[in-house]
C-alpha cells in the first residue's frame, strides 16, 4: 500500500483542531462540568476531548481526495 505525503493544509487543520481541543479541555476542567461524558472518569474525559477532534480532522483531511484547482496543469505520472 503506497503512502502519500501529508498535505500542509491537513497538518494545519489538525494543529488548529488540537488547539481547540486543548482550549475546550482546559475550560471543561476549570470552569465546566467534569461529567461531560457521563460516568467516564475525569482523566478519560480529558484524554478523549484532546485526542478525538484532531484525530478525526487528520483522518478526514488525509483520506479526502485532492480537488484540482482551475487553471492548474496536471503533472505526468
In three-state form (DSSP H/G/I as H, E/B as E, the rest C), the secondary structure along the chain is CCCCCCCHHHHHHHHHHHHHHHHHHHHHHHCCCCCCCCCCCHHHHHHHHHHHHHHHHHHHHHHCCCCCCCCCCCCCC
Note the pLDDT tens digit of each residue in 30-52: 776 666 667 778 788 888 888 88
pLDDT at residue 75 is higher than 80? no
Percent of the chain surpassing pLDDT 90: 0
Question: Average pLDDT of 51-66?
Answer: 84
> How far from each other are the two terminal CA atoms of the chain, in whole angstroms?
17
Q: State the pLDDT at residue 48.
A: 83
> What is the pTM assigned to this prediction?
0.62
Write down the pLDDT at residue 52: 87
Amino acid at each position: 500500500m503506497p503512502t502519500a505525503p501529508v498535505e500542509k493544509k491537513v497538518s494545519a487543520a489538525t494543529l488548529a483542531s488540537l488547539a481547540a481541543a486543548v482550549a475546550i479541555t482546559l475550560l471543561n476542567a476549570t470552569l465546566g462540568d467534569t461529567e461531560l461524558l457521563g460516568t467516564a472518569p475525569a482523566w478519560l474525559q480529558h484524554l478523549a476531548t484532546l485526542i478525538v477532534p484532531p484525530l478525526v480532522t487528520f483522518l478526514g483531511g488525509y483520506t479526502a481526495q485532492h480537488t484540482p484547482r482551475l487553471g492548474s496543469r496536471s503533472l505526468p505520472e
